[in-house]
């Protein structure tokens, strides 16, 4: 049953062809999809439509398209709205997702700092005698420092390479099969979205995380390297 | 001029409340080509003396000159450089870098001197042959016996063509026979190549072989023969 533009109450019977399951009850219980031509006939509006949805390729293109359309369409007949105008919640939601990504990144950086610091300090501690010996036979402070920093870089490079291969494999796998989040769909009742999300692996996000972890690792490597240069060869060699 | 001149060396350590005089006014002269042993019981100051002569540690008073050069006013890095040019070290144990093969250990000091890889490995192989380890150059320290490790240390100590080799209890961790062989090796290198050795040891077998014995007691030299 529906109200036509002329104000008449019209009704029509349709044959059910399938049931759409978005996972979001609000959508599933209130939305029925019918072909456009049928709707036009039923409501007696000829070729008329009430809404036109334009899908752009990238989020950022929405503003430009809106401005263009507003220029070409008279304002008292057409309302041109971006997706964020229709539902500001969505924007907040994506901003929150970005914020949580940064938060996770910070945690990762923290873990990298602590782990590298711990590993390199232990590795230095294990080799106190060896550093003492190296200095005794003529190794300079700068050479010891550089050696420790190189070890840190190599450790982190191997670690990030392995981690990255693993992460990319997981990411690509789920990009293919998708992640079914319909169990959490209650949380998204305010929007209609596909309950299966597909992660995207971008060079940008990969470069960002590698850059950040490498920087964090180098930072964490400074202290053990500095400590190695502070060892006194005589007491280092006495160390049991 | 003596190769090594040490005058009035003093070194005190603070052990809690007590002050230990590890060296208490030591004079010593050594000529190039000597094979000298610093003898004396444990705690008499042998290691401290060698550390002073080897520019590893600084005396509280006194001076050490090696070929007329002293290192008292040098920075830490400059002293490392000084050791690289003048001194070869053999310690009681843990002489070698674990992750490097025997030849890389010997070549390491040459690398510090800036020698290219082919040349320094060639010299290392020559020295390893000289200490009787011609076929073991590719082994890592943990794949060598204690005696073999000390031989690698001897080769490493000679690699930089130092003015003097300082050996601190080189035989202490070896059995009698292996220790004897190591001493024979060092004596041979002294006789044939004129390498100068100063060895700290309380091992009677080592003292017997010495051309010159410096007897220490409580931080002083009590006998010089
Ligand atoms: N770093 C140090 N701190 C405190 N005391 C030390 C230190 N090094 C040596 N000593 C003391 O100095 C004395 C001489 O030690 P050392 O030169 O090692 O003798 P040796 O090599 O003949 O056994 C000993 O009493 C030792 O305890
Ligand atoms: Mg000693």
Question: Which residue, by CA, sits nearest to atom 7 of ligand 1?
Answer: B13
Is residue B100 within 8 angstroms of chain A, CB to CB? Answer: no
Whether A102 and A217 map to the same domain: the answer is: yes
Residue B30 has pLDDT above 90, yes or no: yes
Query: Which of A39, A70, A86 is where one domain is finished?
Result: A86
Burial class (CB in 10 A: 0-12, 13-18, 19+), A175: middle
Q: Provide the pLDDT for residue A202.
A: 81
CA angle A106, A107, A109 (to 5 degrees): 65
Whether A62 and A95 map to the same domain: the answer is: no
DSSP state of A191: S
Q: Provide the pLDDT for residue B163.
A: 93
pLDDT above 90 covers a percentage of chain A that reads: 22
Q: How far is B15 from chain A (nearest CA, A)?
A: 14
- For residues A21-37, give the mean pLDDT: 76
Residue to substitute in B48, B169, B222 for testing ligand 1 pocket (most ligand atoms within 8 angstroms of CB): B48
Residue A236 has pLDDT above 80, yes or no: yes
- Taken in order of first residue, the domains within chain B and their CATH numbers are 4-220 (3.40.50.300)
**What does the block give as tokens for A31?**
């939305």
Whether A202 and A225 map to the same domain: the answer is: yes
Rounded to 5 degrees, φ, ψ at A123 are: -65, -35
pLDDT above 70 covers a percentage of chain B that reads: 100
Is residue B91 within 8 angstroms of chain A, CB to CB? Answer: yes
Instruction: Measure B168 CA to ligand 2 centroid, in angstroms.
Output: 7
Confidence of residue A177 (pLDDT cuts 50, 70, 90): confident
Q: Provide the pLDDT for residue A186.
A: 62
Lowest model confidence (mean pLDDT) among A178-182, B86-90, B116-120 = A178-182
Whether A49 and A13 map to the same domain: the answer is: yes
**pTM more than 0.90:** no
Whether A214 and A141 map to the same domain: the answer is: yes
Q: Which residues of B touch A235 (CB under 8 A)?
A: none
- The reply to whether residue A133 touches residue B94, judged by beta carbons under 8 angstroms, is yes
Angle of helix A203-230 versus helix A141-177 axis, rounded to 10? 160
Confidence of residue A240 (pLDDT cuts 50, 70, 90): low
Q: Are B120 and B72 in contact (CB under 8 A)?
A: no
Residue A195 has pLDDT above 80, yes or no: no
Q: Tell me which H or E stretch contains A207.
A: helix A203-230
Rounded to 5 degrees, φ, ψ at A48 are: -70, 150
Whether A27 and A46 map to the same domain: the answer is: yes
Whether A108 and A184 map to the same domain: the answer is: yes
- The reply to whether residue B57 touches residue A234, judged by beta carbons under 8 angstroms, is yes
Within 8 A by CB and 6+ apart from A137, the residues are B83, B84, B89, B108, B109, B112, B156
Q: Which residues of B touch A143 (CB under 8 A)?
A: 112
Q: Is B149 in the pocket of ligand 1 (CB under 6 A)?
A: no
- The reply to whether residue A130 touches residue B80, judged by beta carbons under 8 angstroms, is no
Q: Identify the sign of the CA torsion A208, A212, A215, A217.
A: negative
Helices H, strands E: what count in chain A?
9, 4
Q: Provide the pLDDT for residue B46.
A: 95
First-to-last C-alpha distance (Å) of chain B: 20
- The reply to whether residue A138 touches residue B91, judged by beta carbons under 8 angstroms, is no
- For residues B17-33, give the mean pLDDT: 92
Whether A133 and A233 map to the same domain: the answer is: yes
Confidence of residue A196 (pLDDT cuts 50, 70, 90): confident
Lowest model confidence (mean pLDDT) among A15-19, A177-181, B69-73 = A177-181
Q: How far apart are CA B70 and CA A158, in angstroms?
A: 46
Q: Provide the pLDDT for residue A18.
A: 86
Interface with chain B: mutation pick from A138, A140, A143, A237, highest number of B CBs within 10 Å: A138
Cα B145 to Cα A121, B97, B142, B173, B214: the distances in Å are 30, 15, 8, 11, 30
Q: Provide the pLDDT for residue A14.
A: 85
List the domain range (segments joined by +) for residue A26.
2-86
**What does the block give as tokens for A32?**
């029925």
Query: Which of A37, A69, A86 is where one domain is finished?
Result: A86
Whether A48 and A124 map to the same domain: the answer is: no
Q: Provide the pLDDT for residue B25.
A: 92
Quick: pLDDT tens for B191-218: 998 899 999 999 999 999 898 999 999 9
Q: Are B182 and B93 in contact (CB under 8 A)?
A: no
Q: Which atom of ligand 1 is nearest to the CA of B42?
A: 23
DSSP state of A2: E
Confidence of residue A189 (pLDDT cuts 50, 70, 90): low
Cα B102 to Cα A134, B96, B106, B214: the distances in Å are 15, 8, 6, 32
Question: What is the tally of structural domains in chain A?
Answer: 2
Q: Which residues of B touch A124 (CB under 8 A)?
A: none
Whether A51 and A140 map to the same domain: the answer is: no
- The reply to whether residue B80 touches residue A135, judged by beta carbons under 8 angstroms, is yes
Q: Provide the pLDDT for residue B4.
A: 93
Secondary structure of residue A32 in the 3-state scheme: coil
Q: Is B48 in the pocket of ligand 1 (CB under 6 A)?
A: yes
Whether A51 and A155 map to the same domain: the answer is: no
Q: Provide the pLDDT for residue A28.
A: 75
Residue B9 has pLDDT above 70, yes or no: yes
- The reply to whether residue A138 touches residue B98, judged by beta carbons under 8 angstroms, is no
Q: Which atom of ligand 1 is nearest to the CA of A235?
A: 1
Q: Is B43 in the pocket of ligand 1 (CB under 6 A)?
A: yes
- For residues A223-227, give the mean pLDDT: 93
CA angle A233, B29, B218 (to 5 degrees): 60
Question: Which residue, by CA, sits nearest to atom 16 of ligand 1?
Answer: B45
Confidence of residue A190 (pLDDT cuts 50, 70, 90): low
Confidence of residue B12 (pLDDT cuts 50, 70, 90): very high
Q: Tell me which H or E stretch contains A167.
A: helix A141-177
- For residues B146-171, give the mean pLDDT: 95
Quick: pLDDT tens for A197-209: 787 878 887 888 8
Lowest model confidence (mean pLDDT) among A21-25, A180-184, B81-85 = A21-25
Whether A156 and A177 map to the same domain: the answer is: yes
Q: Is B13 in the pocket of ligand 1 (CB under 6 A)?
A: yes
Query: Which of A86, A102, A119 is where one domain is finished?
Result: A86
Looking at the DSSP assignment, which residues form a beta bridge with residue B88?
Answer: B165
**What does the block give as tokens for B96?**
């070698």
- For residues B162-170, give the mean pLDDT: 95
- What does B161-215 look like in DSSP terms, one character per residue? --SEEEEESTTTTS-HHHHHHHHHHHHHHHHHH---EEEE---HHHHHH-SEEEE
Secondary structure of residue A16 in the 3-state scheme: coil
Q: How far apart are CA A218 and CA B200, in angstroms?
A: 43
Quick: pLDDT tens for A115-174: 999 999 999 999 999 999 999 999 999 999 999 999 999 998 898 889 888 988 888 888
CA angle B60, A231, B140 (to 5 degrees): 120
Mean residue pLDDT across chain B: 93
Task: Choose between A84 and B102: higher pLDDT.
Answer: B102
Residue A105 has pLDDT above 90, yes or no: no
Q: Tell me which H or E stretch contains A163.
A: helix A141-177
Task: Choose between B69 and A240: higher pLDDT.
Answer: B69
Q: Which residues of A touch B85 (CB under 8 A)?
A: 138
Q: Provide the pLDDT for residue A187.
A: 60
Q: Is A91 left (phi over 0), alpha (psi -120 to 50) or beta?
A: alpha
CA angle B42, B48, B50 (to 5 degrees): 105
Q: How far apart are CA A152 and CA A135, in angstroms?
A: 20
Q: How far apart are CA B134 and CA A114, in angstroms?
A: 45
Q: Provide the pLDDT for residue A225.
A: 94
Mean residue pLDDT across chain A: 84
Rounded to 5 degrees, φ, ψ at A189 are: -60, -20
């Amino acid at each position: 049953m529906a109200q036509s533009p002329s104000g008449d109450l019209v009704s029509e019977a349709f044959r059910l062809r399938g049931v759409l399951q978005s996972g979001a009850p609000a959508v599933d219980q209130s939305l029925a999809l019918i072909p456009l031509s049928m709707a036009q006939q039923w409501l007696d509006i000829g070729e008329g439509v009430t809404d036109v949805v334009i899908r752009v390729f990238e989020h950022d293109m929405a503003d430009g398209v809106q401005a263009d359309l507003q220029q070409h369409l008279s304002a008292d007949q057409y309302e041109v709205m971006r997706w964020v105008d229709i539902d500001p919640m969505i924007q907040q939601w994506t901003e929150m997702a970005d914020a949580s990504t940064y938060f996770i990144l910070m945690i990762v950086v923290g873990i990298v700092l602590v782990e590298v610091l711990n590993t390199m300090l232990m590795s230095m501690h294990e080799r106190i005698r060896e550093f003492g010996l190296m200095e005794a036979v003529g190794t300079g402070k700068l050479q010891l420092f550089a050696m420790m920093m190189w070890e840190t870089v190599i450790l982190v490079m191997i670690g990030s390479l392995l981690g990255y291969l693993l992460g990319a494999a997981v990411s690509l796998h789920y990009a293919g099969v998708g992640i079914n989040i319909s169990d959490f769909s209650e949380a998204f009742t305010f929007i209609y979205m596909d309950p299966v999300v597909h992660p995207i692996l971008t060079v940008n996000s990969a470069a960002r995380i590698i850059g950040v972890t490498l920087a964090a690792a180098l930072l964490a490597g400074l202290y053990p390297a500095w400590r190695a240069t502070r060892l006194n060869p005589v007491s280092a060699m006495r160390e049991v | 001029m003596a190769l090594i001149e040490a005058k009035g060396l003093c070194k005190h350590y603070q052990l809690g409340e007590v002050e230990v005089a590890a060296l208490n006014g030591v004079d010593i002269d050594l000529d190039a080509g000597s094979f000298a042993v610093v003898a004396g019981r444990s705690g008499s100051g042998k290691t401290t003396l060698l550390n002073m002569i080897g520019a590893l540690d600084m005396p509280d008073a006194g001076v050490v000159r090696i070929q007329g050069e002293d290192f008292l006013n040098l920075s830490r890095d400059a002293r490392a450089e000084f050791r690289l040019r003048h001194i070869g070290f053999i310690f009681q144990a843990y002489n070698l870098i674990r992750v490097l093969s025997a030849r890389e250990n010997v070549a390491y000091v040459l690398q510090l001197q800036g020698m290219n890889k082919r040349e320094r490995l060639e010299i290392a192989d020559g020295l390893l042959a000289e200490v009787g380890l011609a076929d073991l150059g590719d082994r890592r320290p943990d794949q060598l016996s204690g005696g073999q490790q000390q031989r690698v240390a001897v080769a490493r100590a000679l690699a930089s063509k130092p003015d003097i080799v300082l050996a601190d209890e080189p035989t202490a961790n070896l059995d009698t026979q292996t220790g004897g062989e190591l001493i024979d090796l060092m004596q041979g290198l002294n006789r044939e190549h004129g390498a100068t050795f100063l060895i700290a040891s309380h091992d009677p077998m080592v003292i017997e072989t010495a051309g010159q014995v410096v007897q220490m007691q409580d931080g002083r030299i009590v006998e010089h023969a």
